[in-house]
Every structure is written in C-alpha cells, then in structure tokens.
Chains A and B, each alone.
Chain A
Amino acid sequence: MKIVLNSIRFFVIIATALFATTVYAGGGNKNDKDGGQVSSAEEVKEYILHHVKDSHDFTLWSYTNDEGERKHVGFPLPIILWTSNGLVTFMSSEFHHNDDGHVVVEKKGLRFAKIHSKIYELEPGASEIKFDESHHATNAHKVLDFSITKSVFGIFLVGILMFIWFRGLARQYKKKKIPTGFARILEPLVLYVRDEIARPNIGEKHYRRFTGYLLTVFFFIWILNLLGLTPLGFNVTGQIAVTAALAVFTLIIYLFSGNKSFWGHILWMPGVPVLIRPILAVIELAGTLLIKPFSLLVRLFANISAGHIVVMSLIGIMITMKASMGAVGSTLLAFVLSFFITLIEVLVAFLQAFIFTMLSALFIGMAVEEHDHH
C-alpha cells in the first residue's frame, strides 16, 4: 500500500506543478511557430518538426487571446550555459518563447539569443543577431548548453518514478515473500525480463550480473515511450542523443565483459585460413564497435520519431483537409485515424523497449559465451 501512496503523492506533486503553471505572454508575434493557432499545411509541418525537437520550455498548450496576444500555458525550465565568462544560469521564460533570435537576454555582460531551440552567444559589442542569406547567424556562436530541457526533465521524472517503484519492490522482497499493491504489477514484468530476455540470451552462468542493467534499460525506454504518447508532449526516446547514450552503455558493457574467446574470435578468428584472418578482424571490429551500437541507436530513434510524426500528421489532417471535407468531417477522420495509430504506437512502445533490451542481452551474451573447443 505504501508504494501506491508514494506514487500517488508523487503524482500529486507533479500535477500541482503542472496546474500551478504560469500563463505567460509570448512576443505577440503572429509568425511565432511555437504552437498557437495553426491553420495551413506549412504551419502543421513546422509544428511537427518543432515537436520532434527538444525544447527549452515546457509548454502544454498555447492560444491567441482577444487582443491578438499569444499566450503559452506551461512552465519555464532553467537554462545552464558554460560560456567564455564561466557558468551562466537563467530561466527560459526570459526569452518570452521567441525562437528566431529577436529576443536578446543579457547576463554577466554577455548577450544570448535562442534560434531554433539552440542558444547562441552574441559576439562582444553586438546587440542583435544578424543573418546571412542562408539564415545563419553571422555575429553569434553556439555555447555549451547543459540546460534542463524538456527531455532532461522527462528523464529526471522517469528516474524518480522508477526509483520509487523499484525501491518499494526491493524493500518488500526483503520483508516477505509476496509483494503487495502496485509492486504486484511490476513483479511479472521484472520476471519476464529476467526469464525471457536475460536468461536465455546471456546463459545460466552469467545472466545475474547483467539483469540489473537490462531491467533498467527496459523500464526506462518503455516508460519514456509511453510518456511520449501522452499529451504532455515528451519526445525523449526520439532524441538521437538519448538513444546514442543508451547504445554506448551497452557497448561499454559488452566490451568490458568480453572474455578471451570473444576477443579471439574478433581479432584472430580460429578455423579459417590465416590469410583471411586479418580481413575478418577488420570486419569483426567494425561490426562490434560501430555497427552493433549504431543499429541499436538508430532503430529506437527512428521508430519513435516516425511514430510521433505519423500521429501528429494524422492529427494535422484536421487542418489540411478542412477546406475539402468541412470542419466536422476532417476532425472525425483525423480522430479515427490517429486513434488507431495511437493504439499501434502503444504496441510499438513496448516492442522497441523489448527489442533494445533483447539485442543488448544478445550482444552481452555473445561477449561472455564460453566455447568448448574439442
């Protein structure tokens, strides 16, 4: 019961944070692409591309009020920059949702502007950003950005959630044999990852060492995928940096747990003519160091991004087909199509988490497998 209470308390805190969100005015700029009223196919496209990228604000929705001002509902997130003058921090609300570099924030004698969700530092003396013909900033450069962006916020959220849930589960195992409450939902999932993914792929002898990592990766990806389907608008596992980091974890684990026979089969393949061995070593090294992690990271990234784009495009039918089908017809079509695609996406969310974990287990299994030579 306690874990349920803890989770409820956590959700209440999050919900309070969400509902205590401030309504803050944007630049009042009609061409502001950060939500608001979207009425043409180009704007739908731009809106989707904006959603797929990471953002420095947490905007739940936005609207244009009677005075023609753009209002955003959500909360600002901290921006943390490492610049030529050291650490600079401020809240993202100081940019007033401007995303084309026209709002300049001055901190520690430096000026900053935000263009397409990237923060630029203006050169000394410059007071506004100048663009060349291809829309590149000429008098500003990018800075090291350690901001708590929307994706980082999502990762923290899932981290805390998983810590509460699984600490509760572990604590219950210490006290008695059968977990109660919410932990009963988690137990079969944990056992599934252990018995269906870790044990058959890694082998009876070594699977215990790696089950912790596989469980973490599985639940992390799964919960984030499901969070991406909620209207909160997270797209964390669709960020290539996130999936790349996960793939690098798997790479490090199977490189450092690889045994002698694993490296022997890569560098000096037994059982083939000696002249072919160096060629095979090159191919095997490329496969182990590059192709395996690359396939892991691209699969997850592309699947989740594609899913988000498809769902949002189908919702966009509401706007693009309005002229030919009428408001009711286009909304109905958009609802039916996006509803069924979202159901498929729920399956894909699980499948991608499963596949990432399964392939990680397979690669680790290859590294620790013991060959008995006759």
Chain B
Amino acid sequence: MTIPNLVGAGLIVIGAGIGLGKIGGSAMEGIARQPEATGKIQTAMIIIAALLEGLAFGALFLGQ
C-alpha cells in the first residue's frame, strides 16, 4: 500500500466513524424517548449501519 492509499483509507474510516456515531447516537436517543419502540429502532439502525458499512467497505476495496 502506498501513502495516498493509506491516507484515503484513513479518511474513509473517519467518515464511516462519524456516520456510525450519528446513527448510534440517534438510535440511543430514540430508544430513550420511546423504549417500547426499541425493536423497530434497532432493526432500522442495523439496516442503515449496514448500508453505510457497505459504502465504506466498497471505498476501501476500490482504493486497494
């Protein structure tokens, strides 16, 4: 791996980290406000996280 590749991988991970943090934080807040909707919020959270993760992995994969 060259230096630009490594910097790019770092940027991807920073972006994915911010995204996952926002998703997780909002889901937490949602569950705290409405504990009876925990199951639905969790499912939606996992789907969005999976889509984000697919994007991040796709970028890492293409950057190799």
Size of A's binding interface in residues, CB under 8 A: 14
Chain A residues, Cβ within 8 Å of B61: 298, 302
Interface flags, B19-58, vs A, CB<8A=1, else 0? 0000000000000000000000001001100110111011
Indicate whether A359 reaches chain B with its CB closer than 8 angstroms: yes
User: Is there contact, CB below 8 Å, between A299 and B46?
Assistant: no
Interface flags, A337-374, vs B, CB<8A=1, else 0? 00000000000000100110011001000000000000
Chain A residues, Cβ within 8 Å of B53: 299, 303
**A158 vs B58: C-alpha distance when bound (angstroms):** 28
Indicate whether A153 reaches chain B with its CB closer than 8 angstroms: no
Indicate whether B9 reaches chain A with its CB closer than 8 angstroms: no
Main secondary structure of the interface of B (DSSP, over half): helix
User: Is there contact, CB below 8 Å, between B46 and A354?
Assistant: yes
Size of B's binding interface in residues, CB under 8 A: 12
User: Is there contact, CB below 8 Å, between B57 and A302?
Assistant: yes
Q: State how many angstroms separate the Cβ of B41 from the closest Cβ of chain A.
A: 14
Chain A residues, Cβ within 8 Å of B50: 299, 355, 358-359
Q: Which 8 A-B pairs have the closest CB atoms?
A: A295-B54, A302-B57, A355-B50, A299-B54, A298-B57, A298-B58, A298-B61, A299-B57
Interface residues in chain B, defined as those with a beta carbon under 8 Å from any beta carbon in chain A: 43, 46-47, 50-51, 53-55, 57-58, 60-61
Interface residues in chain A, defined as those with a beta carbon under 8 Å from any beta carbon in chain B: 196, 294-296, 298-299, 302-303, 351, 354-355, 358-359, 362
